Amino acid sequence: RYFLMTIFETLSNSLGLNFSWLSKSAANKTMASSGESSGCAEDGPQDPFFNDDAFDKVLKEMDRPDLTGFELFADTRGVQVYRRPEGSSGLYEYKVVGYQPEVDPRVCALVNTDLEYRKQWDKYVAKLNILKEYKTGHQLLYWQVAYPFPLTNRDYFYMRRSKELAFTSQGREHTAWVTISRCMPPDATVCPETSALRVDEYKQTMAIATHESGHGSRLYINTFDNPKGNIPSWLINYFASSGVTSYLDSVKKAVDTYRK
């Protein structure tokens, strides 16, 4: 969402008119998170999109991304952005891969886990709450994104599951922080009523991992987000590349500040 929001900010400026992480102390265990929530002793949804095989697939993708049907869209600061058309929507699915030498992966995970801190560094957060937590590590969240005037805010009612995983790459042991997210049908018992435009097409897999050099972070994101409304898809796609640099700058600044 932050990547998408930097696109809209560029649109707003041009016309004159926003990674969620959880941390934990041991591999393959449920990660702890901050923020208001309702605890739950039950298991999360039995959905293949969030199962253990899905996490293994993300790790494999990070090592060898499947770019079938994708085209290189942007290449900046060690990060490559690929895209391919998503059905007949006129929008694109994106894959982001790269290396950030000055970003510590564990600190980056903590930056995204601290919801109160997220509200400080991510200027697009209007509302952000964990509505429900499950013993399997799934979390049900509500996130309202502040859009630049005169656009209407968007909100998301979605499930996410996160893990810290140990894996081997090129004969070396590594650690990755992986989060899988997807929109869910609104639950009237926990989902607030707002004037924001509800987004019901959003999915993302995201991983940050240690690098072979022992310094910096490897990055992988696969995402699709349909913000709906009357914004022409060609205009969104035209300005999308400028969102990459803004996203990288904001995350690095947030990580540096969090260290202090």
pLDDT in tens, 219-231: 999 999 888 887 7
pLDDT at 27 over 80: no
Query: Which of 50, 117, 80 is closest to 221 using CA atoms?
Result: 80
Mean pLDDT, rounded, for 160-177: 88
Cβ atoms within 10 Å, residue 68: 6
Beta strands in 1-124 (DSSP E): 71-76, 79-85, 92-100
Q: What is residue 181's predicted lDDT score, i.e. its pLDDT? A: 93
Contact between residue 57 and residue 217 where contact means Cβ atoms under 8 Å apart: no
Q: What is residue 214's predicted lDDT score, i.e. its pLDDT? A: 83
Mean pLDDT, rounded, for 37-42: 60
Q: What is residue 108's predicted lDDT score, i.e. its pLDDT? A: 84
State how far the Cα of 20 lies from the Cα of 179, in Å rounded to an integer: 7
Q: What is residue 193's predicted lDDT score, i.e. its pLDDT? A: 74
Contact between residue 99 and residue 78 where contact means Cβ atoms under 8 Å apart: yes
List, for residues 185-196, the tens digit of each pLDDT value: 877 667 777 889
Q: Which residue has the higher pLDDT, 6 or 197?
A: 197
Contact between residue 12 and residue 149 where contact means Cβ atoms under 8 Å apart: yes
